[in-house]
Amino acid sequence: MGSKTRSIIGIQVSFYSIVYVLLYLLVIVVSNIAISKFGLQAVIPVAFIMIGFELVIRDRLHDMWDGKGLGLKMGLLVITGSVITVAVNSAAMKIAIASFVAFALAFTADALVYHFFNKRNRLFLVKSNMSNIAGATVDSIVFPSMAFGGWFPLVSAGQLLAKVLGGVLWSLLFAAIAYIYHRVRNNND
């Protein structure tokens, strides 16, 4: 989905990048607060619904920002999500820190795999879901260990499965929306 860029305080941004950034931050903050409030029992539902979505949004941002400060922008986004979480609910500090570390490491793994498949001109569904496996694996090991202070292999395995399946579902939905958007746009031209 292409879009025209606009200059905001001297920085070129597109409508879609703004929407994706806002959605990303919303997902991170809501996920962190939900896990802070409901604890370990919330990690698998949050992983399926919210983090699967986050993984796909991250890949859309990767496409938009590749070669344009991707690492810095994603790093700032991850930090911002954690800061907003603590600003909204200071009791979520431990979860926000665990989230920051896990997302930073997961982003690195995800970006390396996404970039690998991107160089081979793979479809978004392929590169997104393959990179989601890498990012979800790292996140599913790091986050529960830091957030809850121990090794929870069943939780990590459940999270991994939920994130990957959630990512597949969200990537299919994104692909369907993009397909419909392009069909409608081409029919109107």
* pLDDT tens column, 111-134: 999 999 988 877 889 999 999 999
* Paired residues of 5 in beta bridges: 14
| C-beta neighbour count of 130 within 10 angstroms | 15
The predicted pLDDT at position 4 comes to 66
pLDDT value of position 11: 58
pLDDT at 181: 85
Domain of 34? 5-188
Q: State the pLDDT at residue 2.
A: 47
Q: How many domains does the chain have?
A: 1
pTM above 0.75, yes or no: yes
| Cβ-based neighbours of 83, under 8 Å, separated by 6 or more | 96
DSSP β-bridge partners for residue 14: 5
Query: Would you write out the chain's pLDDT as a tens digit for each of its 189 residues?
Result: 445 666 555 556 788 889 999 999 999 999 999 999 999 999 999 999 999 999 999 999 988 888 888 889 999 999 999 999 999 999 999 999 999 999 999 999 999 999 999 888 778 899 999 999 999 999 999 999 999 999 999 999 999 999 999 999 999 998 899 889 888 888 876
Q: Which residues contact 132 (CB under 8 A, 6 or more apart)?
A: 52, 55, 56, 59, 110, 163, 164, 167, 168, 171
Q: How far apart are CA 186 and CA 180, in angstroms?
A: 10
Task: Answer whether 167's CB lies under 8 Å from 132's CB.
Answer: yes
One-letter identity of residue 129: N
* pLDDT at res. 67: 83
pLDDT of res. 1:
46
Please, are residues 82 and 101 in contact by the beta-carbon 8 Å criterion?
no
Query: Looking at residue 69, what is its pLDDT?
Result: 87
CA distances, 67 to each of 43, 62, 63, 74, 109 (Å): 33, 9, 9, 12, 17
Q: Which of helix, strand or coil describes residue 12?
A: strand
